[in-house]
Chains A and B, each alone.
Chain A
Amino acid sequence: MKDIIEILNEVNPGVDYEHEEELVTNGILTSFDIVTLISMLNMKFDIDISVTDLVPENFESAKAIKKLVDKLK
C-alpha cells in the first residue's frame, strides 16, 4: 500500500491518498495521470494493466488500486 501511495504522489503530488475515496469521480486523477500511473504500476509490479481493467472503481482509492495490482500479480 505504501509503495502505491508513493507512486501516486509522484504522479500527482499534494493529495491525501490515504483517505481519498473518489480519485476518479472528483477529477483528482486526470486521464493523463491514470496513464502515467498505470505505466509506473506496470513497471514496478511487473504486471500488465490493460484497457479491460480501466474501470473507475479500480482507481478510486489507493486501496482499490492495490486490489487491482494484487489481482494481476
Chain B
Amino acid sequence: MSYTSLQFLIFVVVLLFVYYIVPKKYRWEILLIGNLVCYYLMSGWLLLFVVLASLFSYFGAKLIEKRKEKRKKIFIISLFSVLGFLLVLKYNNFISSLLNPILNIVNLNIPFKKFILPVGISYYTLEMISYLADVYLKKIKPENNFFKLLTFYTYFPKVLEGPISKYRDLSKEIFSEHIFNYESFRKAWVLIGVGFIKKLVIADRCGLFVSNFFLEGHTGLLTIPAIIFYTIQIYFDFSGCIDIVSGVSELFGIKLAENFRQPFFSQSIEEFWRRWHITLGLWLKEYVFFPVSLSKTNMKLNKKMRNAKYKHLSKFILVAFPLFFVWFFNGLWHGPTLKYVLYGLYYYLLMMLGILFKPVLEKIVKILRINTEVFSWKLFRIIRTTFIVCIGMLIFRSETITDAFNTLANIRVMDSVKFFELGINIKEFVPLLVMIFAMFFISLAKELKIDVREKLEEQNLVFRWIVYWVIIFSVIIFGVYGRGYDAASFIYGGF
C-alpha cells in the first residue's frame, strides 16, 4: 500500500472519521490501532519486528533510568538489541562481505541471503537509537506507557519514508489533545495535493524517460539532461512523499518535523545537507557528529596535534575525524553496499577539500576582486552546488562507482537516442515543465519567507476553490497512474 494509492486515501479518511468522533483523550489510542492496521497492510506479520524492537527500547530505557550503576552497559546492550534487527536483516550481506575473506581462511562462510525488510526499519531504528540515547543522556525521562512509545514508532505517516522524528519532540504533538480545526484541515489537504503533484505529475513522469535512458544504457549528450532529470525526479519523489505524509499528519493535528527546505537554493554542500533530508542530517549531527567529536579519542588527538605544533591541521582533524563517520554512516544508511558508502564519502571528500582549501580560495576571491555579496556570486554558488549534487545522484543511481564513471565518460560517445524517443513525447513534456516551474515559484516564495499555504487560506472562497480544483485536476489529468503506466514506487521506500 503506497502513500499515493486509493487504498491509503480511503484508510486515512476512515481513520480521520473515527479519530474525531472519539473523545479527545482516547484519540491517540485510535491512532495506535490505525498505525498497527496500516503497518500490517504494508508489511504483514513483519509487524512483529517493530513491536519486538519497541519492547527492547522500552525496557532498555526503563532499566537505564532504574539501574544507575549499570546504565552505560544497559544502554549499549539495548542499543545493539535494537540495531541488531537492522544489521541482521539489512546489512547482513555487507557485514558478511567484510568478514568472509577472513572466515574463509578457517573454512567458514556466512551465506548470502536477502531478507524482506519490515517497512521503515531504517527509519524507526534510528528513532529508537535516538530515544535510548536521549534517556541515557538524561535529555528525557523514559516513557512509562509502552503503548505510547509503540504509537510513536509505528506512527503511520512517517513509518515508510520518515521524517526521522525524536520522541522528545513528536510525543508532545501526538499525545496532546487535538480539536478539529477546519482551516488547518483545509491547509493540510492543500499540502497533500501539492505532494501528489510532485510525486504523480512530476517525479513519475520524469521516471518514464529517465529510467529508460539508464536501463537501456544510452550514451551521448543526452546523458546530461538525463542526470538532471533524475535529480529532479528524486527530489520531487521524496519531497512530494514528505508533503503528502506531513499533510496527512496535519489532518490529525500533528505536525511532523521539516524534512526539506528548498535544498536547491543551497550555496554549499554543508548548506545542502541542512536543507535536504533535514531530519537525517540532524540525527547524524546529534548522535554521530557530536558524540564522536567530543569523545575522549578525538579530544586527545586534537590535544596531541596542537602540542606538536600542527595548529591548523589539528583544527581540521578535529572536525574531519567525526565527519568521516558522519558521511560513512550517511552513505551506509542509504544502502548496504560499498557503492552507498562511497556515495557518502564523495560528499565527505568534497567537504574536506572545501575546508582545507578555504583560506586559499578566500585569497583568490580577494585578488580577483569578486564581490561575494551579490546575486551573481550566489547564483554561481547555487549552480556549483547543484552540479555537485547531480553527480552525487548519478553515483546514487549507478550500480557501482565504475558505472557512474562510465556513464559520464559516455557523454563523449555518439548520441544513441533522441530525447523524445525515450518514453515521453512533446505534448506530455509541457505539463511537466509547467509544473516544475510552478513548484519553483512556490519554493522561491518560501525562500523569501512567504507562507504560501497561509496566504492561500486568507483568500476568499471562490479563489481558494479555483486553486483547489487546479491542484485536483492537475493530479487527476496529468498524473502518471492507471493502465499503461508502471507507477514508480517511492524511491526512498526500500528502507
Contacts and interface: CB of A to CB of B under 8 A. Distances in A.
A interface bracket (residues with beta carbon within 8 Å of B): 10 to 19
Contact of A49 (B294, B303, B306): B294
B437 interface: no
Contacts of B285: 31
B290 A31 contact: yes
Interface in A8-49: 31-32, 35-36, 38-39, 42-43, 48-49
Interface of A: 31-32, 35-36, 38-39, 42-43, 48-52, 54-55
B318 A51 contact: no
Contacts, number: 35
A52 B319 contact: no
B225 interface: no
A55 B139 CA distance: 9
Nearest to B315: A36
A54 to B, nearest CB: 6
Contacts of A54: 290, 294
Given A35-B322, A39-B303, A51-B137, 18 more contacts: A32-B319, A35-B289, A35-B293, A35-B294, A35-B318, A35-B319, A36-B315, A36-B319, A42-B299, A43-B303, A43-B306, A48-B299, A49-B294, A51-B290, A51-B294, A52-B137, A54-B290, A54-B294
Nearest to A11: B315
Nearest to B296: A48
B322 A52 contact: no
A39 B303 CA distance: 8
B290 A39 contact: no
Interface string B296-309: 10010011001000
Interface in B131-153: 137-139
B332 to A, nearest CB: 21
The 4 closest A-B pairs by CB, nearest first: A35-B293, A52-B137, A32-B319, A51-B291
Contact of A39 (B138, B291, B299): B299
